[in-house]
Amino acid sequence: MQSSLYGPDDVARVAGRGWASYVDSTYTDVFPLELRAGNSYTANVEIDGTTSTITTHWPAGVDEPWDTTTNKLIGTNDGDMFDFRLRMVALGGASPVQLTVEIDIGGAQGVIFSKTENIAKGASIETHVTISSDYYTGSTFISNGGTITVSTADGSDDLDLWGFQLLVFRKFVAP
């Protein structure tokens, strides 16, 4: 008889992994999130999950990773590790636009993730954007949650965003 490679605590951590998906219906190609030219502009990403929410593969008894009321990422345990993917459609103006996506947990840490993507120039060119990274949850994240923001650089052209989808993968459960 072969012994298990994992002890009881390890099995619980493996069992606590999973994924969830949230699709927004607030912003559409007809009514997009509008980031206007001229100045730096920041907006919170709001994903209501009414179009589609899949949480059947999220671990039972664990708070879902996205709060559709506060529009924040949620942390459960100090030291958990997650991957996220934020997908959206971007439509820029006649000039190139730099789109920055950040996760802000407030407190002394503030922004824990920042990524900038160049959006194609040219009117009516839709660009499908996927931003992905990992993050871990500590005490500040657990207390405040994580706000996802989108912004454009000073001097950027207009930018419309819609079709937001957030996928969150819990890949490590802290002991």
Q: Is 10 helix (H, G, I), strand (E, B) or coil?
A: helix
The predicted structure's pLDDT at residue 42: 61
Per residue in 76-111, pLDDT tens?
A: 899 999 999 999 999 887 777 888 899 999 999 999
The predicted structure's pLDDT at residue 14: 62
Q: Is 46 exposed, middle or buried (0-12, 13-18, 19+ CB in 10 A)?
A: middle
CA dist., res. 75 & res. 65, Å (int): 7
Domains parsed from the chain with CATH numbers = 8-172 (2.60.120.1120)
Residues of the chain with pLDDT under 70: 1-14, 37-42, 121-123, 155
- CA-nearest of 96, 167, 155 to 127 is 96
DSSP string, 33-69: EEE-SSS-EEEE------SEEE-TTSPTTS--SEETT
Classify residue 32 by its DSSP letter: P
Whole-model pTM: value is: 0.86
